[in-house]
């Protein structure tokens, strides 16, 4: 396992411990991160009211993928890098009892926290899986929607992530992802100057690289829309695409 993956695991394990304690000395919007562009600030009050406080406190995301995924009753959803479970819980409520929401995470502490949060929220149509987003432990063509919240930029093997998303989606399935994306003219070295890898900046793809990677994996109707500037010419963005 790479040193970078271990750094990511350690960061998320610490975030889970802090959220389990109910506080980390700051409000949910900035909890466990110095930058208020990450966390529960991206969810409206109605959404936050649907999840336990610990799920909001553990959020380190850069958006709200459930707001753009257009989830429907009866669908099966997979959240890559599910953390404390905020997006899985919201997804489970959107797809209803006839649907299902999977959360995939590599961090034991986050998985334990997410399962507690789901139980507290009273959602039974959820399942949390331990694993890597580069090796999704689900069968081919088994989900309708893949969501993720500021996690794909943390992978050191992004082509494998794109291939796995394509593999597990059914035909007609779609992506609803929040991620950090770099301006096309920024080199990898320039991205690293703007923030750390575990801080979701240094590992970000450019807009062109992201689109090319998804199209190479087989996706169509790729849309990458910036929503705010997280650092100089580094953007929180919504990523959408469809499996033919």
> Closest Cα partner for 158 from 175, 177, 186, 133?
133
Q: Is residue 18 part of a domain?
A: no
Q: What confidence score (pLDDT) does residue 52 get?
A: 74
Q: Write out the residue range of the structural domain in which residue 186 sits.
A: 61-242
Full-model pTM: 0.87
pLDDT > 70? residue 8 = no
Q: Is residue 4 part of a domain?
A: no
Quote the CA–CA distance of 90 and 86 in Å, as a whole number: 6
- CATH number, residue 124: 3.40.50.150
Q: How many CB atoms lie within 10 A of CB 187?
A: 10
Q: Confidence band (pLDDT; 50, 70, 90) for 61?
A: confident
pLDDT per residue as tens digits for the range 77-133 = 999 999 889 999 999 999 999 999 999 999 999 899 999 999 999 999 999 999 999
Q: Is residue 229 part of a domain?
A: yes
Q: Could you tell me which residues come within 8 angstroms of residue 3 by beta carbon, excluding any fewer than 6 positions away?
A: none
H helices within the chain, ranges in order? Answer: 3-20, 45-48, 53-57, 86-95, 108-121, 158-168, 188-193, 207-217
Q: Which residue has the higher pLDDT, 50 or 138?
A: 138
Q: Which residue has the higher pLDDT, 45 or 170?
A: 170
Q: How many domains does the chain have?
A: 1
Q: What confidence score (pLDDT) does residue 223 get?
A: 98
Strand order in the sheet with 143-149: 126-130, 100-105, 76-80, 143-149, 169-182, 234-242, 220-231
> Closest Cα partner for 156 from 188, 109, 195, 108?
188
């Amino acid at each position: 396992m790479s040193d970078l993956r271990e750094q990511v695991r350690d960061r998320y394990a610490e975030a889970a411990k802090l959220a389990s304690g109910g506080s980390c000395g700051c409000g949910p919007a900035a909890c466990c991160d110095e930058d208020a562009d990450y966390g529960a600030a991206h969810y409206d009050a109605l959404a936050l009211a649907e999840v336990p406080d610990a799920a909001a406190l553990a959020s380190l995301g850069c958006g709200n993928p459930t707001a753009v995924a257009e989830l429907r009753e009866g669908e099966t959803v997979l959240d890559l890098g599910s953390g404390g479970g905020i997006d899985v819980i919201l997804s489970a409520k959107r797809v209803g009892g006839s649907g299902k929401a999977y959360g995939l995470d590599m961090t034991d502490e986050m998985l334990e926290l997410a399962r507690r949060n789901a139980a507290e929220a009273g959602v039974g149509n959820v399942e949390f899986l331990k694993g890597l987003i580069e090796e999704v432990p689900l069968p081919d063509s088994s989900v309708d929607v893949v969501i993720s919240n500021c996690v794909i930029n943390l992978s050191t093997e992004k082509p494998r992530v794109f291939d796995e998303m394509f593999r597990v989606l059914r035909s007609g399935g779609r992506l609803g992802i929040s991620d950090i994306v770099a301006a096309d003219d920024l080199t990898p070295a320039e991205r690293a100057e703007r923030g750390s890898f575990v801080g979701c900046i240094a590992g970000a793809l450019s807009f062109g690289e992201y689109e090319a990677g998804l199209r190479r994996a087989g996706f169509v109707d790729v849309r990458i829309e910036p929503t705010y500037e997280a650092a100089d010419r580094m953007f929180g963005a919504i990523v959408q695409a469809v499996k033919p």
